[in-house]
C-alpha cells in the first residue's frame, strides 16, 4: 500500500522545500496539471468552431460554404466527441443511461438538423466542463494524499551498538531503532529512545505549534523533525502507522460510495431519463425538433454526479488535516446526521491520569517538606498515584532523598525509612493508629475540609469539593504530617468542545463506570447535563441502545478497552488516538491528536459537506426543471441551453470544491 505512493515521494532532505506547498495551487501549476491530450482536443475544437463560425458569418453566399462547414463540423465532432463516444459506449454496454450519452444524442441531433456551429460549441463546452471536473477531483485527492507525501523511501536503522545501516522503509520491523536527522521526515510511529527535538506534527495531528520531544515521547509517522537528531523505537510501521491508516482511509474513501453518493448517481440517471422523455414529449406536441434537442441539452446532472464524491473526499481531507481521519465515506455522511454525542469520562473527557491538585500539611509542617517526604517514599512505587506525586515534585523543583527498606502493600500504601525516620504514605487505614486521631480533625489550619469518614478507609473527603479527589496521607514516626489531594483533571479542550457542540445543537451525554458524585462533578465543570455513572461495559451498551431506541443518532467518543463495544454500537464511533488499540480498531473515526476540539470540528465539517451536497441537489433539480420548461417553449435555443447546462454544472462542482482545504489550512486548523 505504501509503495503505491512512493514513486512520487522525494528523498529525505528535499522535503523542506516542498513542505509548505498546499493542495490548492496557482494558475500556472494548475494549468500544467491539465492533460495535454485534453487541452489539445479543446484547442483544436475551438479552432474548428471558429472556422465554422467565420464561414457562416462572413461567407453566407459562397457556393462551397455548406460543403466546407459540413466537412469541418464532422471532423470536429468525431475528434472532439471521441472521449464522449467511448464513455457512452461503456454506458450502453452497462445498460446505464448517463449524461455523456444524453449529450452525445443532443450533439448528433443538433448536427442532423443543421445546427453545425451549435453542435461544435456544445462539444467545446462539454470538454471544458470535463477538464474542470477532473481538476477539482485531482485537487480533492491531492488534499488527502498531501498528508502522506513526505515519507522517505530509505531510512537509517541502528544495527548493534554502533552500526547504522540504510534500508527501504518497507523492510523496517517493529522494535527496530530508526535514526532521524534534523530536517528529516519521521517514517514510523514510535517512542523516542535518545535525543530531543521539536517536531512539526501539523500534517498528522493538525497541531499548529511545534511539539517538543524528549526521551519517552510518542512520535507519529508523517511528522517533520526540525532541530535535533532522534533515535526512535518503532511501535508501528507501514499500514499500522498513522501514515498507513490515513492512506488506508484514503483508499477506502475513493473506492466506496456513501449512500448520498449513490443517491446522486440515481438522481443523475433520473434527470437524463426525464430530459429524454421531455424531449420526446416536446417533439410530439410541437413538432419542433430544435426545441426538443434544447430540452436534452439543457439538462445537466454532472453537478451532483461529480460534485458529491468531490465534497465527500474534500471534507475527509479537511478533517484529516485537523487531526482526525474517517475510515470511510459512509461514516462521514453518518456524522452529518447525528444529534447526540456521548462521551466516556476517564481518558476521554479527562486525562486518564491523576494529578496533584492540593498539598495540605498540618500546622508546623510546610508544603515543600510534606511533598519532599511523600515523593522520596514513592520514588520506587509503580502506583499511578505515587508516580504522579514524584512527577509533581520534580516539576516543582523539590528534591528527593534515598529511601531504605522500601515496601509496598497493594491497596494500602508504601512504607520506608528516610534519614532514620519511619515513613508511611497511603490510605487512612494504612496510617499508624496514633496518626489517625489527628486525621479526624481539620487537616491544616486553612484546609476547607471536613473530617474524614474512617469507615470508608479514608480514600476521599466527604464534601463536594473533594469528592472527586483521591487523598494520599503521610505520617512520620507515627505522627501525622498531612495529605496530598490528587484528581483526574479534565482535558484542556473538553469544556470548549462541549460548549461548541451545544452551539451546534447537539445533546451531550456522559457514560462512565466511575462513582456518581465524581461523574457529576466533572459534568458540572464541563457543562454536561445528562450523566449516567457507575456503569459496567454492558450497562454502557444498554444506555446507548436506549438512546437509539428513543430516535437519537449517536456519536460515541471513547478510549479504553471497555469502550470498544459501545464504539461499535454507535452510529459513528470515535476513538482517541491516545487510547487502546482495540478502541481504535472498533471505531469509525480516530482522533490522532486526542484533541476534543476536533470532535466539534469534525461534526461541523460533516454538516457543512451535507449542506453543500443538498444545495447541489436542489439547485440541479431547479435549474434543470426551469431550463427544460423554457427549452420546450422555444425560449432557450440549443446554444443557450448548452451555456445553461455547462454553467450550472460548473457552479455546483465549484461549490463542492469550496471544501478542499486551502494552503496553510493545517497550520490554522480552521
Which residues does the annotation mark as catalytic?
Answer: 344
- The answer to whether 146 and 22 are in contact (CB under 8 A) is yes
Per-residue H/E/C for 357-380 = EEEEECCCCCHHHHHHHHHHHCCC
Angle, CA of 603, 608 and 609, to the nearest 5°: 100
C-alpha cell at 499: 460548549
| Structural contact between residues 241 and 221, judged by C-beta atoms closer than 8 angstroms | yes
CB 371 within 8 A of CB 398: yes
Partner residues linked to 359 by β-bridges: 484
Alpha carbon separation from 603 to 59, 171, 334 (Å, rounded): 62, 38, 10
CB within 8 Å of 38: residues ≥ 6 apart: 83, 127, 130, 131, 134
Report DSSP state, residue 345. I
Report the 10 Å Cβ neighbour count for 593: 23
Tell me the three cell numbers of residue 466.
473533594
Only one residue has cell 462542482, namely 653
Cβ atoms of residues 413 and 386 within 8 Å: no
Nearest-angstrom CA–CA distance, 359 and 371: 7
CA distance 260 to 656: 14
Q: Which of 484, 466, 544, 480 is nearest to 512 (CA)?
A: 544
Beta bridge partners of 418: 421
End-to-end CA distance of the chain: 30
DSSP letter string, 25-57 = --HHHHHHTS-HHHHHHHHHHHHHHHHHHHHHH
DSSP 222: T
SS3 296: helix
Backbone angles phi, psi at 562, to 5 degrees: -75, -5
**DSSP string of 610-633, one letter each residue:** HHHHHHHHHHHHHHHHHHHHHHHT
Amino acid at each position: 500500500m505504501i509503495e503505491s505512493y512512493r514513486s512520487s515521494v522525494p528523498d529525505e532532505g528535499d522535503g523542506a522545500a516542498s513542505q509548505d506547498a498546499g493542495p490548492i495551487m496557482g494558475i500556472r501549476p494548475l494549468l500544467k496539471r491539465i492533460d495535454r491530450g485534453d487541452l489539445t482536443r479543446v484547442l483544436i475544437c475551438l479552432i474548428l468552431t471558429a472556422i465554422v463560425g467565420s464561414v457562416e458569418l462572413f461567407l453566407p453566399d459562397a457556393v462551397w460554404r455548406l460543403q466546407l462547414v459540413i466537412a469541418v463540423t464532422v471532423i470536429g465532432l468525431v475528434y472532439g466527441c471521441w472521449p464522449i463516444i467511448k464513455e457512452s459506449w461503456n454506458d450502453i454496454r452497462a445498460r446505464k443511461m448517463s449524461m455523456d450519452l444524453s449529450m452525445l444524442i443532443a450533439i448528433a441531433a443538433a448536427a442532423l438538423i443543421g445546427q453545425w456551429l451549435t453542435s461544435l460549441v456544445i462539444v467545446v463546452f462539454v470538454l471544458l466542463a470535463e477538464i474542470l471536473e477532473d481538476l477539482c477531483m485531482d485537487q480533492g485527492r491531492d488534499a488527502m494524499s498531501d498528508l502522506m507525501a513526505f515519507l522517505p523511501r530509505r531510512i537509517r536503522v541502528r544495527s548493534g551498538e554502533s552500526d547504522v545501516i540504510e534500508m527501504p522503509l518497507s523492510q523496517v520491523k517493529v522494535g527496530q531503532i530508526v535514526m532521524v536527522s534534523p530536517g528529516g521526515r519521521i517514517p514510523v510511529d514510535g517512542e523516542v529512545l535518545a535525543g530531543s527535538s521539536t517536531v512539526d506534527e501539523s500534517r498528522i495531528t493538525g497541531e499548529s505549534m511545534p511539539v517538543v520531544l524528549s526521551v519517552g515521547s510518542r512520535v507519529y509517522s508523517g511528522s517533520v523533525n526540525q532541530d535535533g537528531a532522534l533515535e526512535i523505537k518503532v511501535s508501528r510501521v507501514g499500514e499500522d502507522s498513522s501514515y498507513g491508516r490515513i492512506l488506508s482511509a484514503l483508499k477506502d474513501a475513493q473506492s466506496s460510495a456513501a449512500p448520498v453518493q449513490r443517491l446522486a448517481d440515481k438522481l443523475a440517471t433520473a434527470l437524463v431519463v426525464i430530459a429524454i422523455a421531455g424531449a420526446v414529449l416536446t417533439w410530439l406536441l410541437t413538432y419542433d425538433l430544435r426545441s426538443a434537442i434544447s430540452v436534452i441539452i439543457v439538462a445537466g446532472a454532472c453537478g451532483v454526479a461529480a460534485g458529491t464524491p468531490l465534497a465527500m473526499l474534500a471534507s475527509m481531507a479537511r478533517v484529516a488535516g485537523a487531526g482526525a481521519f474517517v475510515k470511510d465515506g459512509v461514516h462521514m455522511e453518518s456524522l452529518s446526521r447525528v444529534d447526540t454525542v456521548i462521551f466516556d469520562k476517564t481518558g476521554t473527557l479527562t486525562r486518564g491520569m491523576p494529578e496533584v491538585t492540593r498539598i495540605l500539611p498540618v500546622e508546623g509542617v510546610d508544603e515543600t517538606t510534606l511533598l519532599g517526604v511523600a515523593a522520596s517514599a514513592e520514588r520506587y512505587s509503580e502506583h499511578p498515584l505515587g508516580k504522579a506525586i514524584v512527577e509533581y515534585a520534580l516539576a516543582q523543583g523539590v528534591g528527593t532523598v534515598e529511601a531504605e527498606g522500601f515496601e509496598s502493600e497493594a491497596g494500602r500504601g508504601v512504607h520506608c525509612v528516610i534519614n532514620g525516620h519511619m515513613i508511611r504514605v497511603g490510605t487512612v487505614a494504612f496510617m499508624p493508629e496514633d496518626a489517625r486521631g489527628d486525621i479526624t480533625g481539620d487537616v491544616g489550619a486553612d484546609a476547607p475540609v471536613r473530617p474524614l469518614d474512617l469507615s470508608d478507609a479514608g480514600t476521599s473527603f466527604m464534601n463536594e469539593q473533594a469528592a472527586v479527589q483521591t487523598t494520599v496521607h503521610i505520617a512520620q514516626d507515627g505522627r501525622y504530617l498531612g495529605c496530598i489531594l490528587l484528581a483526574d483533571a479534565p482535558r484542556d479542550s473538553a469544556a470548549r468542545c462541549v460548549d461548541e457542540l451545544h452551539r451546534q445543537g447537539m445533546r451531550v451525554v456522559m457514560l462512565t463506570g466511575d462513582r456518581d458524585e465524581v461523574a457529576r462533578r466533572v459534568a458540572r465543570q464541563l457543562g454536561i447535563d445528562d450523566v449516567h455513572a457507575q456503569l459496567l461495559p454492558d450497562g454502557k451498551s444498554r444506555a446507548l441502545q436506549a438512546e437509539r431506541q428513543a430516535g437519537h443518532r449517536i456519536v460515541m467518543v471513547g478510549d479504553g478497552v471497555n469502550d470498544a463495544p459501545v464504539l461499535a454500537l454507535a452510529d459513528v464511533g470515535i476513538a482517541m488516538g491516545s487510547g487502546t488499540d482495540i478502541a481504535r480498531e472498533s471505531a469509525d473515526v480516530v482522533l490522532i491528536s486526542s484533541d476534543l476540539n476536533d470532535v466539534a470540528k469534525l461534526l461541523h465539517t460533516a454538516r457543512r459537506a451535507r449542506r453543500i451536497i443538498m444545495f447541489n441537489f436542489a439547485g440541479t433539480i431547479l435549474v434543470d426543471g426551469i431550463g427544460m420548461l423554457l427549452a420546450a417553449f422555444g425560449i432557450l435555443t440549443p446554444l443557450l441551453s448548452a451555456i445553461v447546462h455547462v454553467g450550472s454544472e460548473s457552479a455546483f462542482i465549484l461549490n463542492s470544491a469550496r471544501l478542499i482545504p486551502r494552503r496553510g489550512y493545517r497550520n490554522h486548523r480552521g
